[in-house]
Each structure stands twice: as C-alpha cells, then as structure tokens.
Amino acid sequence: MITGAYPLSRARRNRFDGFTRRLVAETTLTTDNLIWPIFVCDGQNTRTQVSSMPGVERVSIDLLESHLEEAVALGIPAVALFPITPPDIRDSKGREATNPDNLMCRAAREIKRLYPDLGLIGDVALDPYTDHGHDGLIENGYVVNDASVEILALQAMNQAAAGIDIIAPSDMMDGRIGAIRAALDKAGYENTRIMSYAAKYASAFYGPFRDALGSGGLLKGDKKTYQMDPANTDEALREVAQDLQEGADMVMVKPGMPYLDIIRRVRDNFAVPTFAYQVSGEYAMLMAAIQNGWLDRDRAILESLLAFRRAGCNGVLTYFAVEAARLLARGA
C-alpha cells in the first residue's frame, strides 16, 4: 500500500491491550449495581428448586442465614423479597398481604436481625396472596383500581413496620405511589423509600416467576388491563413522570433485556435513579443456553448485566446477583 492510503484514525488502537481498554471503558459493572431477588417459603429446613429457573431456590426462614451469607460477604447492597403463600392462605381479597405476621414480614424481621446493613426491598402487589393470581381486587371480572390502591397502601405500611427499607410497588395501579407515600409519611415512615415498578409491561417473560410463586396456575386471564402494552414507549415516560410526581425515589423498568430502549429513554428524560429487572424468563433463557453449552456462562452473565449499565441503569435486579458478584470479586 502507498503512504497516505492508511486510515488517520484507528479505533483499534484503543483496543490494543487490556490496560488501554480499561482506560477507555465508558461503563463499569460493580457489586454495588446488583440486587438479588429471593423466594421465601413456609416450613422448617425447606429448600426447593424452581424447575424453570435452574439454580434458584425457595428457602424457609430458618435457612436465610446461610442462604444470604455469601451475598452479604460479597457486598451485595440489597435483596428483594418474594413470599410463597400456600394456596389455603390465599383468598379473593389478598387479606394475608396486611397480616403483620405474614411470611414476608417474618422474613424481613429475621433478615434485619441477622444482617442489619443489608437493604430490604419489599414487593407490593396482591398476587402472592390472591386466589385469582391478580395484583389487585376483582369486581365483575375487572381488576379495580382505587379499592386495590387502598389495600396496597396498607400492605406497604405493614412491610415498613416489619423493617422493609424500600417499598417496591409492582402492581401498576394508577395513583398507588401517591397513596403509599401519604400513608407511609402519616405513619412516621418518612424515610422508607419507594422504588416504583413504573414501566412494567404485560410480558411473557414472567412465566417462571409465577411458577416459583405458585400463582401461575391460579391466574385467570392476563394482566393487560393494568400492565403496559409491549408496543409502547412514550407511555412509559408518562408512567415514570407520574410516579416521580407522586413521590417515587427510584424507578424501575421491567422486563430488562428486551426493554433496554425504555431504560435509555427514562434515564435521558428524567436523570433519576433508574433500575431494571432482569426477570425470570430472561434468566431461564440464558440458563437454558448455558446448560446446553451454547453460551459461555461467565461471559454471558457479565455482558448481560453490563448492558443494563450502558443503557443507563444504576442497578439491576437479577437472579445472577451472587454469581455475578463472585465473578467480579475474582476480577473476571
């Protein structure tokens, strides 16, 4: 080749070796970015596998100490608690949600006793407690809004009283953030934070989670009259704006990987603490490929999580949290 025909700028120079790649990296993933969702069940010394989520278990309260030990040692900042309510305790109104001795509250108190510095995130929605599997109350076949919000506010207060630090409403009722904020403040929980599932879509990717909770088989119909249509993105911005105006401290987009565009728009438009949920179906999908040897486990996990950071997330709720924290600790 003759002189002058060479490119003046070579993007590859900054990729030449490891230290240069590290210097020019625009995004990083650390353990501070990880939130671990955990499933808690009733009973003693009980540990069951979620079949559609290989490696994910439901554990009873007495096993929480050992279950959480490594996560705490690795420095994972917070866990998100999901209770498995036996069918005989469920009813049409989700009454168990407001029982101060329900599984969620007992687990929260125990975790606070064991690990006082570990952040606790509580899912607020009625689906773990209803016999129809919906997130709110049903009247004439429709999930009604305002009456559901009343119960959700009581559920949030119940969780705050048990020591939950961050209330995370995942129900998608209108006005629930404002109602929960007002209820919390009135009861003296003005520092209990709210992470709103602001843009939560009616997604096929929640299937394995509903199996884990035992609400999948119970669910009558779908959640399309309250969760968002996957076709929409401007609407996600209106949902986020509304929740922030009502007092949300942090917002969440869910599912995660198929919705990175939504995360980016939320981050650019609002510049508020933004989270995403790499949901059960995403985990199941990755694990299926990993178990078949079709994907490199460590690299696929870390790349999938880094993508959330690049899209603008502060953190990610992920069933890979402990695995990822282990890899990060090893400097992978």
The catalytic site residues sit at 200, 254
Among 34, 68, 279, 295, binds ligand PBG (CB under 6 A): 279
Closest CA to 261 of 248, 276, 282, 271: 276
Stretch that binds ligand PBG, among 7-15, 55-63, 105-113, 123-131 (CB under 6 A): 123-131
Smallest separation (angstroms) from ligand PBG to the CB of 261: 19
List of residues 6+ apart from 310 with CB closer than 8 A: 26, 27
Instruction: Kindly tell me which of 53 and 237 has the beta carbon lying closer to ligand PBG.
Output: 53
Asked if residue 210 binds ligand PBG (CB under 6 A), the reply is yes
CB atoms within 10 A of CB 23: 8
Instruction: Kindly tell me which of 33 and 280 has the beta carbon lying closer to ligand PBG.
Output: 280
Among 170, 192, 196, 304, binds ligand PBG (CB under 6 A): 170
The closest residue (CB) to ligand PBG is: 209
- Look at strands 137-139 and 142-144 and give their pairing: antiparallel
Tokens of 31: 């353990």
Smallest separation (angstroms) from ligand PBG to the CB of 216: 8
Asked if residue 209 binds ligand PBG (CB under 6 A), the reply is yes
DSSP one-letter string for 207-229? HHHHHHHT-TTT--S-STTTSBP
Asked if residue 127 binds ligand PBG (CB under 6 A), the reply is yes
Smallest separation (angstroms) from ligand PBG to the CB of 23: 36
How far, in Å, CA of 38 to CA of 268, rounded? 30
Asked if residue 97 binds ligand PBG (CB under 6 A), the reply is no
Residue 77 to residues 106, 189, 232: CA-CA distances in angstroms?
20, 21, 32
User: Dihedrals φ, ψ of 193, to 5°?
Assistant: -85, 160
Q: How many residues at the interface with ligand PBG, by CB under 6 A?
A: 11
User: Exposed/middle/buried for 73, CB within 10 Å: 0-12, 13-18, 19+?
Assistant: exposed
Among 201, 206, 259, 275, binds ligand PBG (CB under 6 A): 206
Touching ligand PBG, residues 222-241 (CB under 6 A): 223
Asked if residue 257 binds ligand PBG (CB under 6 A), the reply is no
Among 81, 111, 135, 153, binds ligand PBG (CB under 6 A): 135
Among 125, 151, 194, 266, binds ligand PBG (CB under 6 A): 125
With the C-alpha atoms ordered 113, 65, 81, 86, is the resulting torsion angle positive or negative? negative
How far, in Å, CA of 171 to CA of 177, rounded? 10
Tokens of 114: 């064991």
How far, in Å, CA of 264 to CA of 309, rounded? 10
* Residues binding ligand PBG (CB under 6 A): 123, 125, 127, 135, 170, 206, 209-210, 223, 279-280
